[in-house]
Amino acid sequence: MTTAAGLPLPSLSRGRFAYSLDGAAADGGTAHGTLTAETDQALFDACGVRVAFTHRTGGFSPEPCASLNVERASGARDVQLNRQAVMDAFGCAGAPLLSPNQVHRDTIVVARDNAPAAIAADNARADAGCDAVVAACRGVAALLCFADCLPLVLVAPTGQFAVVHCGWRSTVAHLACKSLATLCEQAGCAASEVNAYIGACIRRECFEVGREVADEFSAAFGIEDPIVLPGKSADKAYLDLALAVSLDLQRAELDPARLADTGLCTVCNNDLFYSFRAEAGTCGRHGAFAWSAEAGQTI
């Protein structure tokens, strides 16, 4: 439970999480493994909310998507096992899971009831296209998929949370601050009380875009430098997606002290994360995950 001072200030560090899956080993026995994620252990200890940005290692998928590919659209057995491994590693095997069809827009689906039928209905809505989910009830997990786009997780003092997929289109559409507003409305809290977490994504030094994309950012945020910097040629620019999302959240009154960023670049750390650019479009997806144990169920 939270203290009068609210959530502990956010802090991300690397953690290793063991899982075991019955029947998943090559001989039909139990498969044991360990995955790695950037997580906030103090947050989990304080309020039972697990925030995790998974690495690409420790899973079942072969090259070129080795190995913890959690891509939603894939029906492949290795990917299904990877998704089960994530749930098991974070102590919520079999729990209701929100898993949207991400389409680079600004649709938000809110889950208000963790009953399986209610979550199935939420996922049916999210199938139509959704880039942010808000878990307004406890006992629900969410897993969104990434390979360069920016993963954002927001946590309210109540333990309600949002997981957000910020590609450049959704960022220009201000999905980050729209998700923050929706979470605050559901939680009955102020934006300044919310913790925000940014996972690995493509960073400015690796994110050269066309001038037309840069112009959309300049128009959306009202500033040029330092979100948009000159590229190698006049028709190109370098884009700082993390700064744009941070600025969006702070303009919506998120406390800068409550924003934690891994600072990691997916392109520069292609051994740890999938990168659409670094792998020329043939790659798996790592995850942004959140789970809130039901009250009294803190693990």
* Interacting residues toward Zn ion by CB under 5 A: 203, 205-206, 265, 267-268
List, in sequence order, the alpha helices (H) in the chain: 41-47, 77-89, 116-127, 168-172, 175-187, 211-221, 241-251
- DSSP labels for 73-94? T---HHHHHHHHHHHHHTT-TT
179 three-class SS: helix
**Minimum CB–partner distance for residue 102 and Zn ion (Å):** 22
Identify which of residues 121 and 206 has a Cβ nearer to Zn ion in the complex.
206
- Using an 8 Å Cβ cutoff, are 288 and 199 in contact? yes
Nearer to Zn ion, 51 or 264 (CB): 264
Q: How far is the CB of 233 from Zn ion (least distance, A)?
A: 19
Please say which residue, 26 or 280, places its beta carbon nearer to Zn ion. Answer: 280
Q: Judged by CB, which is closer to Zn ion: 117, or 232?
A: 232
Q: Which residue is nearest to Zn ion (CB)?
A: 265
Helix, strand, coil % over all residues of the chain, rounded to 5: 25, 25, 45
Q: Quote the least distance from Cβ 274 to Zn ion, whole Å.
A: 14
**Looking at beta carbons only, is 90 or 207 nearer to Zn ion?**
207
The distance of closest approach from Cβ of residue 35 to Zn ion in the complex, given in angstroms and rounded to an integer, is 23
Question: Shortest gap between Cβ of 265 and Zn ion (angstroms)?
Answer: 3
Respond yes or no on whether the N-terminal peptide bond of residue 64 is cis (omega within 30° of 0). yes
Distance CA 61, CA 73 (A): 14
